[in-house]
Structure 1
């Protein structure tokens, strides 16, 4: 009886979907609902929760430190998009070109940094961008007669270090995404364009870029999420969550400071919900602008 029930054509699809539904409910929807409830409470370890209404949200809006964290996260996200969208696309086109030799070697070299632990990578880059004359970057600058720079103590130079780490770790991953997208473009399109006398740039402009749109949208979406959720890189770069003048403070870092360091879990839940809302608005906006939600003509 049970076997016939499980093998029923009407029941089988629900049996296969059930694990995903359970995981979604237990590990996403329930924590989200709990966080929403906590955002209206004052929750501290060892104390009973107290209902405070919208006080956490009002406090968050007036907190200049939170606004600084938002600006830092948005700036970091925008800069990573500028670096990690066009350059991986160009590199993928070059690697995929017929004249390119050793393409498998280039794929491995570019992808290898993604296998490195972010803790290890952050520590290495902190040493590279150290303020001592013997640090790698200052040693290179010294060759050109430039005085040592305190990279991690300035806002602009600190972001240079963070963006260098992001580019080093994720450039190869995005290249592989674009390479996968290029494999789905038929060679017939390029051959027809060559017969019509199209230049290499014209092929890239009118064939490669439009047909890579689905891949570009995917890479853009995950890059926005990764940028807004960045924390460990900043934590390791400054060897803690307290960078000079909070130049490396991100939204997640601010959440960690309130929830873990200050034991204010209710306020931290508010920060998390606001981060989720901001990220969803940004991603849904870019998806709408890209035409993903438009119905295709029959």
Structure 2
């Protein structure tokens, strides 16, 4: 009798495990089909010469050599890094300031301001493209050029000039992502004990001193997190320059990014081998950036352990 009960108990436990795996299996199945398989197939294509229809031909490292000897690739990498810095660094700085302001007790309509700041992140890219396309038009009557003319500066061909396109796209990236980083910083600020700010105010610390000596040091883990996500996002920049430049996005190199270069090779030039090789190279760059952020995170943890001890 006892043996029968024990066997029944094990059977129920096994059923629970099976049902648990069945509940989570859809995610892993979808990930394997949509994420894992394309990644493995892309790695395989990096060593093949294939136009998408004919037979594949193994070429070894030839695709990597073609990409690394292509001046357009290095131009795209340069554009990606420059626009990444121009669009990422300001949003991280202003994100901390905005989060600090939104966390103040005396601020009224907090929820409304938080929703307004986060709104660009969930705005349709079609609407964003239309707004920024009008604002940064090449015409003298465009709002951006009108503002420049008010200060005595010449109009800029935002969609065709070297730095004009980079500045316009960087502003678009800044406008779209600053709310996302602000919300993360705001969550970090709410985890900081309010007693520290009260003690600082009693000691006569100004708002800037509170921001420098309390907020930023205690927000370091959140800063590392946002820098990591922003770095990876900047290296994968594609949507903003594509929708802003429109039809000329893949025919000009002033604002072409690495992902746009990859897309052009694969789907415009029908060279899936070099496109996949570019993806593998980009993955290596992202891994290096991730390793640097991991090192920074471990350094912060060591400092925190040293303080606690």
TM-based fold match above 0.5: yes
CA gap of 1:198–1:169, structure 2 versus 1, over 3 A, is same
Q: Which residue of 1 aligns with 2:5?
A: none
How many residues are aligned here? Answer: 296
Note closer, same or farther for the CA distance 1:258–1:243 as it changes in structure 2 (3 Å cut): closer
Equivalent position to 1:127, from 134, 141, 145: 134
Residues 83, 167 of structure 2: 8 Å contact kept: no
Give the secondary structure class of the aligned counterpart of 2:14.
Answer: helix
Between 285-294 and 246-255, the greater mean CA deviation after superposition: 285-294
- 2:256 match: secondary structure: coil
1:32 aligns with 2:76: no
Q: Map 1:153-164 onto structure 2 (within 5 A).
A: 153-164=160-171
Contact 1:178/1:215 (8 A) holds in 2: yes
Task: Find the structure with the greater CA-based Rg.
Answer: 2
Partners of 1:234 and 1:241 within 8 A in 2? no
1:222 deviates by 1.2
**Alpha carbons of 1:17 and 1:293: their partners in 2 closer, same or farther (altered >3 Å)?**
farther
Whose helix fraction is larger, Structure 1's or Structure 2's? 2
Q: Is 1:169 paired with 2:176?
A: yes
Equivalent-residue separation in structure 2 for 1:26 and 1:3 (angstroms): 31
Contact 2:137 2:158 survives alignment (8 Å): yes
Deviations 1:128-178 (A, max 9, x none): 111212212122333344443212222212111111111211112211111
Alpha carbons 2:169, 2:240 under 8 Å: kept: yes
Q: C-alpha separation between the residues in 2 aligned to 1:260 and 1:269?
A: 11
Aligned to 2:156, the other structure's residue is in SS state: coil
Conserved in 1, the CA contact under 8 Å of 2:221 and 2:300?
no
Distance, in Å, in 1 between the alignment partners of 2:293 and 2:158 is 33
The one-character-per-residue Cα deviations of 1:50-82 (angstroms, maximum 9, x if unpaired) are 100110011111010001011111111122221
1:1-298 residue pairs with structure 2 within 5 A?
A: 3-7=12-16, 18=25, 20-242=27-249, 245-291=252-298, 296=305
Q: Distance in 1 between matches of 2:88 and 2:135?
A: 24
User: Mean alpha-carbon deviation: is it higher for 42-51 or for 281-290?
Assistant: 281-290
Rounded Cα–Cα distance in structure 2 between residues aligned with 1:102 and 1:63 = 53
Q: For the aligned residues, what is the CA RMSD?
A: 2.4
Whole-angstrom distance in 2 between the partners of 1:54 and 1:140: 51
Structure 2 Cα separation of the partners of residues 263 and 159 of structure 1: 27
Structure 2: unaligned runs, 5 residues or longer: 1-7
Structure 1, unmatched stretches of 5+, are none
Whole-angstrom distance in 2 between the partners of 1:131 and 1:20: 46
> What displacement does 1:196 show?
3.8
For the structure 1 residues 106 and 156, does the alpha-carbon distance in structure 2 shift closer, same or farther, using more than 3 Å as the test?
Answer: same
